[in-house]
Amino acid sequence: MTADVKIEPSWKNRLKDEFEKPYFQSLIDFVRAEYKSATVYPPGKEIFHAFDACQFDDVKVVILGQDPYHGPGQANGLCFSVRDGVRMPPSLVNIFKEIQSDLGKPIPSSGDLERWAKQGVLLLNATLTVRASSPGSHQNKGWETFTDEAVRKISQEKEHVVFLLWGAYAQKKGELIDRNKHYVLMSAHPSPFSADRGFFGNRHFSKANAYLREHGLKEFYWLCL
């Protein structure tokens, strides 16, 4: 089964033991059956896009999402991101609004966050697949165990990573992070249902850059123009 998991080598090295565990075998069986019998997002080749776009050694910031987007053409394997030409979902619009407020940068026309990934932002959903029009449909099938291990590896093996945990679901993974080595920022989720309750005004983007500068690391250009 390990050979069937197409994932970037630096991550495959660290997560290979997971691929042999019973829960992952069951997860793969479930996901394969779902792709055969229903419309599932993202496309199969992009399930591990977050890992492929940001190698382990390059990770400087982690943003944790919940599920992939469940509408047609939206999910591309990076949390909160959509392809060029796809209308930006409200949560992503609110992220850009906070960047505009925090850093004074204009809201971009593109919602593709791959440029963030290439700078070292791991854009990781807790659950890597979802059935169309059915949010949460692939939760509690094993993905959370797998992504927990990815977060644990970052916490254990790296230093001075910034974790942006928005909303209660992402904040559950905060228990896996060594806060003596890393910088954890938490707030409400950018969803329209909660953004006014603490996401807007959290200034996470300038705080992340300040922390990176403080530790001699390159700050981020937080836009995709």
Could you say which of 67, 84, 102, 196 is catalytic? Answer: 67
Catalytic-residue membership of 67: yes
Query: CB–CB of 210/222 below 8 Å?
Result: no
Q: Which long-range contacts (CB under 8 A, 24 or more apart) does 141-147 make?
A: 141/26, 141/27, 141/30, 141/31, 142/23, 142/24, 142/26, 142/27, 142/30, 143/27, 145/18, 145/23, 145/24, 146/15, 146/18, 146/24, 146/27, 147/173
Query: CB–CB of 162/202 below 8 Å?
Result: no
Other CB atoms within 10 A of residue 200 CB: 17
Positions annotated as catalytic residues are: 67
